[in-house]
Structure 1
Amino acid sequence: MAMSRMVEIAVGLALIACSAIGQPKGPADPTDRKLKAKIDLLASKIVAKEGPGFSVAVVKDQKILLCEAYGLANVETGTPMTTETVLNVGSVSKHFTAWAILLLEQRGLLSTADDVHKHLPELPGYGSPLTLAHLLYQTSGLPEYLKLFKYAGLFPSDHRTFSDVHEILKAGAGLEYPPGTRWSYSNTNYALLAEIIQRRTGQTFSAWIQDNLFGPLGMGRTRVPESEVAIVEDRAESYWCSEGALKKYITNARIPGPTLVYTSAADMARWMLNFRNNQIGGAALFEKLCTPGRLTSGEEAPYAMGLAQGQYRGNATVGHAGSDAAFVSDMTYCPQSDLGVAVLCNSANIDPLEVRNAVLDLVLFGETSLKRTESKTRAAPPFPSGEAGALRERLLGTYRLEGGGDLVCLSVDGEETWGTYLGQGNVRLIPKDGGSVSNAEGDIVVRALAPEAGPAEKIELNLKGTLLTASRIPESTKEPAGPAAVTGLYYSPVLGAVYSITREDGRLKVSQRRSVGTHDLACAGKDILVCSLGELRLARDAAGDVTGFTLWHESVGGFSFSRVYLGGKPARG
């Protein structure tokens, strides 16, 4: 489920040991031996002793070059990772869902041109047609449910199912933009597609995809668990390293379609060989799956059906990256050379792209040497006082991105500095040389642009290579009509959440007891308060009393909150 997140363009394929799919055994090709030696060396550098690891499979020209596994599937029990170990491949699951939709279209059970309301009539009207193709191409305008859950106060560890997504959408969560006019990555699209598959087939998504995709290809290990307590043979646990300690990531999310396919390197080989041999679906289906969508402007979208098109050193690719819990994965398939790579990791601190790139560099370009990247687990030191502390004070505040309207908030929690973007999650920031701050990985950097001294009026954000500029929102502690005019409790029926506006230490704050947390509010205009969650646009009655607000953020739309008075509304005056 991977990305509070921006689409990662990658793709893939996987393989299995020769004996596992009945291919003849024989002496390894020189390329095979070099590839194994290279990945063995890489694994020795990125897999900690007695720690979690990864499995990798490589196929080319319908032959298996490599299928190996490294590290532990379960650290507590010391169970080793094997090519039969099953891992959650996160958003790599999306192309399985898209493939299932196209199979149903082949069989006449639906059309990708169908309006979504034909299959889900209970959803509200959106003012213009919303089709299955819009869902597949990620051009629907439907908000990301992970963001909706954040605003509703749900934690990642909460038990979350499709019904949670369904209820928020039925209650009136609107579109970010008219369908087909823009592109934005949203897991909501593929959650709805999985539900449509269930309604059209009369089977659970798990059962249908098992019977019609995985089973016919002999993918006996692959499944979509129907509950968090389902027994999945040889399932790996997932881990991440935090503050120098290895921790197990536990999630109770059960929303199939965008994620939740558990598979092995061996099974992925069987599946991805189907890209060329067309045993399930045929060549026309695969071609449609890989063809990008088009916006109403005629511009090509950066996404096909559950797959993204890209390039690696001049070679065209299709595929997807994945992330769910602390599982991370990548599939990359190069159609022109019939080369596929699948990397499945059970540690968020292992970069599957590093493994994938090592494979592509050798197979496509004959490069046997490793190109190492800096560790992703570098410790973040405390933010010091003095010059770096002054830099922090210069940057603190709320900013609006130029051209997009999104809000960025830089704030302090104790001795730590944090940045919040898109109203989701926080990233800890540490000082860097050159008058900037960054996350521990160094791929998110913030620096002041102007003026040269005092609070920055403009900042530059480098978000993993994307440069953005944001302007400070002038802050004022003056409230629209005094403390009593705004402070109180507010309820949103769409989110099912209660927010509280309070005054603490001379500042207005908005909070929610669960995952929303507490955020400083700044006045940005008449009856407009802003924080990293978005804009709070106040509503008043004829007497001028605040009766509620609309919480607006471009990435999720607007949510209406009504004021709640415990014990009755107080008398005026």
Structure 2
Amino acid sequence: MTDLGLLALRRAARRLLAPWDRGESPGATIGLVRDGALALHESAGAASLELGLPIGPETCFRIASVSKQFTCAAILLLEAEGRLSREDAVQRHLPGLPDLGARITLDHLMRNCSGLRDMLELMRFAGTGLGQPATAEQLLDAIGRQRSLNFAPNTRFLYSNSGFLLLGRVVEAAAGEPLATFLERRILAPLGMTRTRHTPSVAEVVPGLATGYFPQGEGFVRAPHGFALGGEGGLVSCVEDLALWDRNFSTGLVGGVALGRALAERVPFGNGRLNLYARGLEVADYRGLRTETHGGLWPGYRTCFLRAPEAGLTVIVIANHGGIDVHQLGHRMLDAAVEGRPGIHPVPALPPRPALEALTGRWLEPESGTTLEIELTADGTPRATQHGLPFTLAPAEDGRLVAQRGAFPFALSLPEDGRLLVETDAGIITSFRRAATEARLPEGLEGAWTCAELDATWTIAPGTEGLVLRVRGPVGSDGPWPVLPIEGDCFRVLTPATLFQGWVDAQAVRDAAGRVAGFLVNGSRARGLRFGRDA
């Protein structure tokens, strides 16, 4: 890279960071790795608003789910030593887990195709959000109460933090030492990642750690988080250390080059379609380039680890500002780095505005009660929301719109004949239609309802503006949560969360006499939860 080329990229990074280049705002840091060397590292914003400390080269952040590839690497290192096999059933190493009626392997966990419900969502539906204290044992209890799955193993993909918490415990059982010790001894120290550490407790003092913030009004508040952290997201790191980890994919200093290949290996589902999720990395195509990427999201922290190995480039973006879209920043930085190279596909254009306007509104898949909201932002960008989490829709080369959201396969076609076709994981296509513009809640929802797999009771009663729900679970309680009509027996429960205003889609289940006897609840990562009326 010439000096002029590097200067242009530095200026591109500064432009991307400009909105947060002020002392009264938290911000972000961007690193660009080229051919194994950190070629560029720019930062903006404050690591601590209270102390007025700027983000700098040595600032550390919670990288959340970017930790997952390290947990997978630990499993693969232990497999190379003969201490376990990726095809082992998880109960072989964790015999206390319940029998869920299907054989779940370690590889299923690494590839997010196990069908296990996500523990963070289970905790939230049982009244305990990320801002409240929860121990590792309580998280394991939430997994252990399950008696069914989202789907049969290796038939679909659905992101699940539960699987990676269990993988971290498998590492400890097979290695005979804490996950933090194994990672430090076998990966971090050999690679010189001296500012990276696994932190099971969020109360632990970590040198150089930026404070995480959420925007609130014209200012910011500290982001609350109280959950114990394991193999799903316990690492604190920085751009320089993640650049050292990225270099290991080509040098193989730890685990040989086979380790990097195994982490990025896609494996087919039972129907033959390739899973986009490899092992702690999502593998996709972007502008004609193969990318290996993962995001991290934790209250007040966001991370994008984006590799484009064919181009010899990796972009690392980390923020301590909960409102920054690091996924978008990472891809814009990659755009700048590959611009003008031969073989790079142009960025597709959005469909005309009238076609986009035809997408807007509420859509319903009536069989499951799943809902989808689509709107256009002020600048005309389409944005979808499912289960309360909004994500930008970007044009794809095949004419469809795809989710700009990590580890979330979602591609929709423009509506035809009043139907909206959405392709998700394993090539599954779901047909949505417009939801009714006026609706009433099903009669008979009032009362107390219990879900054994949550060990929680949802009590629905009149509030000041309609029915509301209060939840009492094994760790905490919450509410009131508004209960809103969708159409017929389909309704929605708003579930305020630390990271976003969530919702679950619910559908009444009726007895032989036609009365509401219970309901099924589907969240983003925990589906098919059954509630029955208390006796």
Per the alignment, residue 102 of structure 1 pairs with 76
CA contact (8 A) 1:510 1:520 kept: no
Task: Give the direction of change, closer, same or farther, for the CA distance of 1:264–1:476 in structure 2 (3 Å limit).
Answer: closer
Higher alpha-carbon deviation: 292-301 or 116-125 = 116-125
Q: Which amino acid aligns with 1:496?
A: D
Per the alignment, residue 496 of structure 1 pairs with 455
Task: Give the direction of change, closer, same or farther, for the CA distance of 1:146–1:506 in structure 2 (3 Å limit).
Answer: closer
Unaligned runs of 5+ in 1: 1-26, 368-393, 411-418, 429-443, 452-457, 566-573
Q: In structure 1, what is the Cα distance between the partners aligned to 2:365 and 2:442?
A: 24
Q: In structure 1, what is the Cα distance between the partners aligned to 2:327 and 2:373?
A: 30
Q: Which amino acid aligns with 1:306?
A: G
Alignment partner of 2:259 out of 269, 285, 292: 285
Higher alpha-carbon deviation: 238-247 or 212-221 = 238-247
1:549 correspondence with 2:518: yes
Q: Which amino acid aligns with 2:478?
A: R
SS at structure 2 position matched to 1:551: strand
1:57 correspondence with 2:18: no
Measured after TM superposition, the shift of residue 162 of structure 1 is 3.2
SS at structure 2 position matched to 1:165: helix
CA contact (8 A) 1:39 1:358 kept: no
Q: In structure 2, what is the Cα distance between the partners aligned to 1:561 and 1:477?
A: 17
SS at structure 1 position matched to 2:100: coil
Per the alignment, residue 531 of structure 1 pairs with 492
SS at structure 2 position matched to 1:163: helix
TM-score w.r.t. length of structure 1: 0.72
Per the alignment, residue 400 of structure 1 pairs with 364
Measured after TM superposition, the shift of residue 409 of structure 1 is 8.7
Alignment partner of 1:300 out of 262, 270, 274: 274
Q: Which amino acid aligns with 1:472?
A: A
Measured after TM superposition, the shift of residue 506 of structure 1 is 11
Task: Give the structure with higher Rg (CA).
Answer: 1
Per the alignment, residue 99 of structure 2 pairs with 125
Identity %: 25
SS at structure 2 position matched to 1:112: coil
Measured after TM superposition, the shift of residue 514 of structure 1 is 0.6
Q: Which amino acid aligns with 2:522?
A: H
Which deviations, in whole Å up to 9, do the C-alpha atoms of 1:477-533 show, x marking residues without a partner? 673xxx6xx643233343132211335689665443615713146784xxx674343
CA contact (8 A) 2:101 2:148 kept: no
SS at structure 2 position matched to 1:253: coil
Task: Give the direction of change, closer, same or farther, for the CA distance of 1:540–1:49 in structure 2 (3 Å limit).
Answer: same
Measured after TM superposition, the shift of residue 71 of structure 1 is 2.0
Measured after TM superposition, the shift of residue 111 of structure 1 is 0.7
Measured after TM superposition, the shift of residue 563 of structure 1 is 4.3
Q: In structure 1, what is the Cα distance between the partners aligned to 2:470 and 2:373?
A: 15
Q: Which amino acid aligns with 2:255?
A: G
CA contact (8 A) 1:507 1:521 kept: no
CA contact (8 A) 1:490 1:548 kept: no
Q: Which amino acid aligns with 1:401?
A: E
1:326 correspondence with 2:336: no
Task: Give the direction of change, closer, same or farther, for the CA distance of 1:313–1:450 in structure 2 (3 Å limit).
Answer: closer
Higher alpha-carbon deviation: 255-264 or 106-115 = 255-264
Per the alignment, residue 286 of structure 2 pairs with 312
- After TM superposition, the structure 1 = structure 2 runs for residues 168-567 of structure 1, keeping only pairs within 5 Å, are 168-365=142-339, 400-401=364-365, 405-407=369-371, 424-425=387-388, 469-472=432-435, 475=439, 479=443, 487-503=446-462, 510-512=469-471, 514-515=478-479, 517-520=481-484, 524=488, 530-532=491-493, 533-535=504-506, 537=508, 549-553=518-522, 556-561=526-531, 563-564=533-534
Per the alignment, residue 5 of structure 1 pairs with none
Q: In structure 2, what is the Cα distance between the partners aligned to 1:256 and 1:129?
A: 23
Unaligned runs of 5+ in 2: 342-359, 375-382, 392-409, 472-476, 494-503
Measured after TM superposition, the shift of residue 460 of structure 1 is 6.6
Task: Give the direction of change, closer, same or farther, for the CA distance of 1:502–1:538 in structure 2 (3 Å limit).
Answer: farther
Q: In structure 2, what is the Cα distance between the partners aligned to 1:106 and 1:211?
A: 16
SS at structure 1 position matched to 2:315: strand
| Greater RCO, 1 or 2 (C-alpha within 8 Å, sep 6+) | 1
Q: In structure 1, what is the Cα distance between the partners aligned to 2:431 and 2:264?
A: 30
Q: CA RMSD in A?
A: 3.9
